[in-house]
Amino acid sequence: MEKKLLLGDEAIALGAIHAGIRGVYAYPGTPSTEITEYIQRHPLARERGLHSTWCTNEKTAVEAALGVSYAGGRVIACMKHVGLNVAADAFVNSAITGVNGGMIVIVADDPSMHSSQNEQDSRFYGKFSLMPVLEPSTQQEAYDMMEYGFELSEREKLPVLMRIVMRLAHSRAAVTVKDSASDVQALPCAKDPASWVLLPANSRRKYAALVEQQPRLEELAAKAPYTRYEPSDKKKPMGILACGIGYNYVEEVKEAKSCFNVLKITQYPLPVSLVRQLAEDSNGILVVEDGQPFAEELVKGMLSADYPVKGRLTGDLPRTGELTPDSVATAMGHQPVRFFEMPKEVVSRPPALCQGCGHRDVYTALNEVVKDYPNARVFADIGCYTLGALPPFRAIDTCLDMGASITMAKGAADAGVFPAIAVIGDSTFTHSGMTGLLDAVNDKAQITVIISDNLTTAMTGGQDSAGTNKFEAICLGLGVEPEHVRVVVPLPKNMEEITRILREEIEYKGVSVVIPRRECIQTLNRKLKQKRAEKKS
Amino acid sequence: MKQDIILSGVGGQGILSIATIIGEAATQAGLTLKQAEVHGMSQRGGDVQSNLRLADGPIASDLITAGTADMILSLEPMEALRYLPYLDKEGWVITSSSPFKNIPNYPADEDWSAALKALPHVVMVDVEALAREHAMPKCANVILLGAAARFLNILTVEQLRGSVARIFAAKGEAVVEMNQRAFDIGHDAALVE
Ligand SMILES: Cc1ncc(C[n+]2csc(CCOP(=O)(O)OP(=O)(O)O)c2C)c(N)n1
Ligand code: SF4
């Protein structure tokens, strides 16, 4: 046994390697990215040839992972919470097919939206698809739960969802890890079309079996190794139901152990037996969960209507945002004391596009051109370039989800908006933009699509981008006219050329694509540094 | 015994490099540690902070509770002020006094410095100027760590200095020596304060 200082994400990655996975399938997304990056760097993963290259999006990742499972290997698929929306079709249906080799889908939620558009809680997806859900509270549990999760998945023949939150993903702690990894697991390949071909006749049978399996899954959750009931010595004190890392904030309050009955939940379906026991021993229940009031609503449904249940819905904890030790302590009646206030001189410091970033030149050019079109709308997308919404550029009008720039621009153009301009990054384009471009081409929509190609997935730290060197070919293949696929180099000295081309393409009555291409200066600098280091040694 | 530290600064200044050195020293000393880091969106020139918790026993929460931080260690003066609600009444603020002005409405120099000087336990060191003066432009972080060393009660100055050597060991003798010198410069600057 060895102790290692690991991020929650890294603990999961190492746990997966040690449990003998065949590979990881993922698309980057904060706060999940470091799981895959750790595996990419790990010597044993390299030695074993484990799959760890990035997928084009989360749906392709989950489907490929299910393919590995079908073939008999253990596998993980990783993504941020909104990635699960993209993968939802594969994910939900994989509970119906079930699995062969163990499969864990790891989804990192982002309460408080530190780097996301929403704070959706992935546990709803687990319940919705009737899958077992694991929710570790510490880095150590995250590591240990990988082996456990694979065994659970293989025994129940179901995929398992592991839900983590940003604080666990991006917090470091010492983790005791095994000295050696299990061998790469290899069950015989599945061959059972009645299970794997989801025709209605098969699906009905499989779905009925899945529903029938639920009481057992709930029993397993009640007996889960990291789920624990800790009654206090007091008679009928307040009860606390703490999920995942919510438990840590409860424990942080000195009086927690002696003054409250604490039920720690780390696996779902939420076990009714434990909740009823807690309710019986306590004079009320405070539900502490990071994310949406998922367990709180379930607990209410399990108890009589007049039983006092407190949490985010009652305002005892804030309805939105990440849990903090402060908010939990306050809900437990131990409001922390503040000695100093933030002086009023302190102002916010929003992030900005790096100096010298090519997206800056794209927006400078676009703003210059759009000045002449008072009705122009710029439909943008998700990536570093979303920062073009902030001063000094204020260049974009919308940003919804990955890929929506092209499709929203098309819809708006259909409804009469001119010019309708889409701005999308290279990685986002291959993630979810290509299909929308095909729609636009087929309808001859009058839109101008700017694919701001910085040769990387910059927002999440500079991962490889699936379409690098292929964009012109993709656009032509989808049917954009060759003379309306234009490539420029976004630099201040080319401003005249870029604005001229933008004007020409805006005026073209059909789909045009302008590709400003210059490498992200952060990845460029990193490569230069590496080269210098290599030269030295 | 425990030491709860809030590290703050501006994205790109490298607050995590300081956390790495303290964390290594703490691990060597057999202490427990939890460190909440910042990744992603917040890093492009925005404000960044990291909670670093050290103790000689178990640590429950990854985050520090309001009013209980023993130290705010900041590479930027206004960013030090941002986290004051977390500071214990006996806590120390150790901060660089070189403002990083990448926003149009940065407060006036006399305002932020007055707010800092009003605190009971504060050490301000112009780490940027010291780094320039001693021709060690990349060592501002280590100078600041040196300035904080005396106030990190759970670790000795020597333990931290040793960690500086181990962390930079892979980069060669000269780099180790320069960083230890930077550490000492910071340490001495805080004595004068
Ligand atoms: C469905 C989904 N998956 C992942 C993310 C995380 N994410 C945000 S932006 C981005 C990549 C952006 O890359 P690119 O389009 O090339 O733009 P760049 O940041 O390089 O400018 C990713 C992966 C997300 N927001 N939504
Ligand atoms: S990381 Fe790269 S793409 Fe993102 S703002 Fe900086 S230079 Fe631009």
Residue B39: what pLDDT?
A: 72
Q: Give the CATH number of the domain where residue A393 resides.
A: 3.40.50.970
Are A82 and A118 contained in the same domain? yes
Q: Give the CATH number of the domain where residue B126 resides.
A: 3.40.920.10
- Mean pLDDT over all residues of chain A? 97
**Ligand 1 center to residue A181 CA distance, Å?**
33
Render pLDDT for A421-431 as a digit per residue (tens, 0 to 9).
999 999 999 99
Which candidate in B37, B39, B49, B83 is best for mutational testing of the A interface (most A CBs within 10 A)? B39
Nearest CA-CA partner of B17 in B42, B35, B40: B35
**Distance, C-alpha A331 to centroid of its chain:** 29
Q: According to the 3-state scheme, what is the secondary structure of A152-207? A: HHHHHCCCEEEEEEHHHHCEEEEEEECCCCCCCCECCCCCCHHHHCCCHHHHHHHH
Q: Which of residues 42-81 of B touch A (CB under 8 A)?
A: 42-47, 59-68, 78-79, 81
Tokens of B86: 């977390």
A260 belongs to a structural domain: yes
Nearest CA-CA partner of A147 in A255, A56, A15: A15
Chain B: residue whose CA lies nearest to A110? B40
Q: Which of B37, B106, B111 sits opposite A171 (nearest CB)?
A: B37
Count the domains in chain A.
Answer: 3
- Distance (Å, rounded) from C-alpha A514 to C-alpha A508? 12
Are A174 and A302 contained in the same domain? no
Residue nearest (by alpha carbon) to ligand 2 atom 8 = A357
Q: Do A115 and B41 touch (CB under 8 A)?
A: yes
Q: Which of residues 126-185 of B touch A (CB under 8 A)?
A: none
Render pLDDT for A481-500 as a digit per residue (tens, 0 to 9).
999 999 999 999 999 999 99
Residue B41: what pLDDT?
A: 54
Tokens of A431: 């993630």
Full domain range(s) for residue B60? 2-192
Is A518 near ligand 2, meaning CB less than 6 Å away? Answer: no
A340 belongs to a structural domain: no
Render pLDDT for A305-320 as a digit per residue (tens, 0 to 9).
999 999 999 999 999 9
Q: Give CA angle at A136 (A79, A16), nearest 5°.
A: 60
Low-confidence ranges of chain B (pLDDT < 50): none
φ/ψ (deg, to 5) at B71: -155, 140
SS3 A288: strand
Q: Give the CATH number of the domain where residue A305 resides.
A: 3.40.50.920
- Mean pLDDT over residues A341-366, rounded? 95
Q: Do B42 and A325 touch (CB under 8 A)?
A: no
- Provide the strand spans (E) within B37-191: 47-55, 69-74, 87-96, 122-125
DSSP code string of B63-89: SPPTT-EEEEEESSHHHHHHTGGGEEE
A351 belongs to a structural domain: no
- Mean pLDDT over residues A457-475, rounded? 97
A347 belongs to a structural domain: no
Model confidence band, residue A257 (pLDDT cutoffs 50, 70, 90): confident
DSSP state of A385: G
Whether the Cβ atoms of residue A462 and residue A526 lie closer than 8 Å to each other: yes
Give the helix ranges, DSSP H, for A228-285: 246-252, 256-259, 272-281
Whether the Cβ atoms of residue A96 and residue A137 lie closer than 8 Å to each other: no
Q: B163 CB contacts (<8 Å, ≥6 apart)?
A: B21, B22, B24, B25, B28
Last residue of a domain, one of A222, A256, A274: A222
Query: Counting ligands in written order, which one lies closest to the CA of residue A519?
Result: 2
Residue A472: what pLDDT?
A: 98
**Ligand 2 center to residue A462 CA distance, Å?**
9
Q: Residue A336, exposed/middle/buried by CB under 10 A (0-12, 13-18, 19+)?
A: middle
Are A410 and A477 contained in the same domain? yes
Q: Do A252 and B65 touch (CB under 8 A)?
A: yes
Nearest CA-CA partner of A420 in A385, A453, A393, A380: A380
Residue B45: what pLDDT?
A: 86
Last residue of a domain, one of A281, A296, A331: A331
Whether the Cβ atoms of residue B78 and residue A345 lie closer than 8 Å to each other: yes
**Ligand 1 center to residue B62 CA distance, Å?**
27
- Distance (Å, rounded) from C-alpha A471 to C-alpha A427? 10
Are A203 and A235 contained in the same domain? no
Q: Give CA angle at A525 (A523, A528), nearest 5°.
A: 110
Place of tokens 């990783």: A78
**Ligand 1 center to residue B53 CA distance, Å?**
32
Residue B14: what pLDDT?
A: 85
Chain A: residue whose CA lies nearest to B41? A115
Q: A7 CB contacts (<8 Å, ≥6 apart)?
A: A34, A139, A169, A170, A171, A172, B37
A349 belongs to a structural domain: no
Whether the Cβ atoms of residue B52 and residue B155 lie closer than 8 Å to each other: no
A434 belongs to a structural domain: yes
Residue B26: what pLDDT?
A: 96
Residues β-bridged to residue A534: none
Full domain range(s) for residue A518? 358-523
Are A176 and A296 contained in the same domain? no
* Cβ contacts of A248 on chain B, cutoff 8 Å: 60-62
Give me the interface pTM, i.e. the ipTM: 0.95
Whether the Cβ atoms of residue A24 and residue A155 lie closer than 8 Å to each other: no
Are A49 and A89 contained in the same domain? yes
- Mean pLDDT over residues A219-223, rounded? 98
Count the domains in chain B.
Answer: 1
Is A405 near ligand 1, meaning CB less than 6 Å away? Answer: no
DSSP state of A117: S
CA distance B67 to chain A (A): 5
Taking CA atoms, A366 is separated from A354, A361, A422, A506, in Å, by 18, 8, 11, 11
Residue nearest (by alpha carbon) to ligand 1 atom 21 = A384
Are A318 and A366 contained in the same domain? no
**Ligand 1 center to residue B44 CA distance, Å?**
15
DSSP state of A267: E
Render pLDDT for A33-64 as a digit per residue (tens, 0 to 9).
999 999 999 999 999 999 999 999 999 999 99
Residue B40: what pLDDT?
A: 61
* Cβ contacts of B79 on chain A, cutoff 8 Å: 349
* Whether residue A206 has pLDDT greater than 60: yes
Last residue of a domain, one of A161, A187, A222: A222
A535 belongs to a structural domain: no
Render pLDDT for A29-40 as a digit per residue (tens, 0 to 9).
999 999 999 999
Whether the Cβ atoms of residue A505 and residue A448 lie closer than 8 Å to each other: yes
A264 belongs to a structural domain: yes
Task: Tell me which long-range contacts A192-195 makes (C-beta under 8 A, separation of at least 24).
Answer: A195/A97, A195/A98
> How many contacts (CB atoms, under 8 Å) link A and B?
143
Q: Do A248 and B61 touch (CB under 8 A)?
A: yes
- Mean pLDDT over residues A153-177, rounded? 98
How many CA atoms are closer than 13 Å to the CA of A136, on its beta-carbon side? 27
